[in-house]
Structure 1
Amino acid sequence: MTEPVWGPVHQDIVGLLADHPADVPAVVDHLTKLQDLLVRLPPLEESCPLADFNKLYLVITSTVLDGLYDDRFTDPAFLARLDVEFAARYFDALRFWTDSHPSTPKAWSCLFQRMRGPDARPLPSAAAGVNAHINYDLPFALVTTFDSLDSEPVDGSDQHRDYLEINKIFAERIPELRRGYLDHWQLMIDMVNGDIDDWYQGELVEYTRNVAWRNAQKIWRCRHDPDARECERMRLDDNAALLGRLLLSPLGAFLQ
């Protein structure tokens, strides 16, 4: 008999994924409950590679929610809808993987496959998840969001400025998040490097999110052409999967 994908927490995760978060507080709640389950997943348990990403995603999403409460954004309806659509793609990937469905994106599969070992270092694991979520999920989440709001991805718009505001949230949270993945000896090296590591990782996130915006604009222009849209989906999935495998390779351990 084949062991369930999620081992002893399989039914709990299936039950969690059966619900679809409809707003940002619900997304935060789902990510929190998922984190509690992932850290119990054997054989890696506390060092589960997916938990390393989910923890980062939870922190960033919680900060976005705080920003919505604090009127940080010009168009909160756009940001809230984008957050929900963005999370939906992550949860969809988890559902596909749970069902061993062939539609599981390759960008995510390379990380999901590591949950049973061999172990991957925490920072590369988190980076692989960010890669899949931004390089593959985000462009399509943007297109779905704009379509639902009868708007479009225009440079310099209120929505674009709010989108760029998320880069600032990453910049604010990256230092503490990154150091949370480091061992004691790595923290010593980090102290020697000063703010350099924080700076370049912040720049990398900003660049990656800018590319995702451009890809969303490209998909937007062909959104009514199923063949062209599928071609873009496959291109983004292949590229993100290639980068994900690199991040999770021995070479990616240099990130740690």
Structure 2
Amino acid sequence: MSDATRRRFDLGGRVALVTGSSRGIGRAIALGLAEAGATVAVHYVGRREAAEAAAAAIRAEGGTAETFQADLADEAAARALVDAVTARLGAPDILVLNASAEHRHAWDAMPAADFDEEIAVNLRTPLALMAAARPAMSRRGWGRILMIGSIQSARPNPRLAVYAALKSASANLARNLAAQLGPEGITVNVLSPGAIATERNEAVLADPAYRQRVEARIPLGRVGTPEDCVGAALLLCSDAGGYITGSELYVDGGWNAA
């Protein structure tokens, strides 16, 4: 790789806020951004030990990271989180919206509390976080907003109807905001993972028959890992992806194409 290419992926001097980064895909992306030079705000809701472990892993490799707690179902959390990161690390240049709420129900039997949580965490608060982070990005003329979507936007599970619909909304939102924020130097994209072996998916993937059915649908023939998402995230969060905006990139082993 040439020095010029390395520089395009270099995130030295950038501050990245990654929501839900104490575990799974968020943790892997946080570590990947730190490896590329970014100072990382590791966000968590209720698992401080896991968040501290992620931050410690970044520091062990010579990076800079601090942890931040916020309940993203709380309407006031977005502004408070961005303000806290700005005060301690500097205003975020990179915002990775990874945290999500997911409840499995039949579409006509979803409890109101679960519905409200999904709307809040998967749509309302991401909008508020983007609004809170935008002014500083706009002043600098550089910003990266990356929403973590899902294969559910293309291959919806019958028991995840609301979650799948909200992930489809993320792709629509990225196209809408890309046109509005592009003139300010801010890109907005969606990275949509397929079947990934995360803690959230551990129980369903532990069923050999279920896992076999899933892998049979994936052209590459395997369930992915959180680390499989890192390369795409680095592209979309760096100068290397500076001409990509309003896009949804599937990291799914070809499932969407099958």
- Structure having greater relative contact order (Cα 8 Å, sep ≥ 6): 1
Same fold (TM > 0.5) = no
How high is the TM-score relative to the length of structure 1?
Answer: 0.37
Higher strand share: 2
How high is the TM-score relative to the length of structure 2?
Answer: 0.37
